Amino acid sequence: MNTVLWKHKMFGFLVVGLIAAGCNGIPRNRSISLTATEDICKKSVEVHLVGVNRSEKEQWEKVSMTEYWQPKNPLRDSAKEYTHVFHFGQEPCEKKLSIKDPIQTVWKKKRKAGYLFILADLPGIFPDMDGNADSRRLQIPAPNSKCWELLQTEIKLEIDSSKIVSLTVPKPECE
């Protein structure tokens, strides 16, 4: 068989295989972009991104956000190894977590995280509520989850003085 023809066939099989594998939802990391509106960008606001696995999910859905942000909170302190922190209070108003950031490996391989909790110490007084009903907490699928579209490389989030919102929406079957 002609070497050039053989190489083209092999390349074709490789491309078809990669496309087919991608359609099965091979998990891959995505970058995370968090944009703060002007009212938050200039205030001292701390935001935690916490990769959580299925066995921890309920605890993180129910933790009081008021207690979580208190000094020496045991849950917050115990999660430092798998928490990424963004600080606002000065420019830039957009923070990014790279696909290659080591915390992504911790979430994916060490923690087997299926969920990402975005927790914000928003200024003001908020009632403690469970799950996403609390304006200071947003739960989304983990960045490496099959719940995101295959070609989606970035999860876009926005934070203002009253809430955290995911501008990138997961697949409908994951909501």
Cα gap 10→122, rounded to integer Å: 55
C-alpha separations of 55 from 52, 70, 77, 84, 136 in Å: 8, 24, 18, 20, 22
Query: What integer pLDDT is reported at residue 7 of this predicted model?
Result: 56
State residue 175's pLDDT score: 72
Is the pLDDT at 14 greater than 70? The verdict is: no
d(CA 43, CA 11): 53
What residues does each domain of the chain span? 28-174
Q: Mean pLDDT across the stretch 6-30?
A: 52
Instruction: Write out the two tokens for 66.
Output: 């008021």
* pLDDT tens per residue across span 35-73: 999 989 989 999 999 999 999 999 999 999 999 999 999
Is residue 19 over pLDDT 50?
no
Query: What amino acid occupies position 110?
Result: K
Domain covering 28-174 in this structure, CATH number: 2.60.40.4150
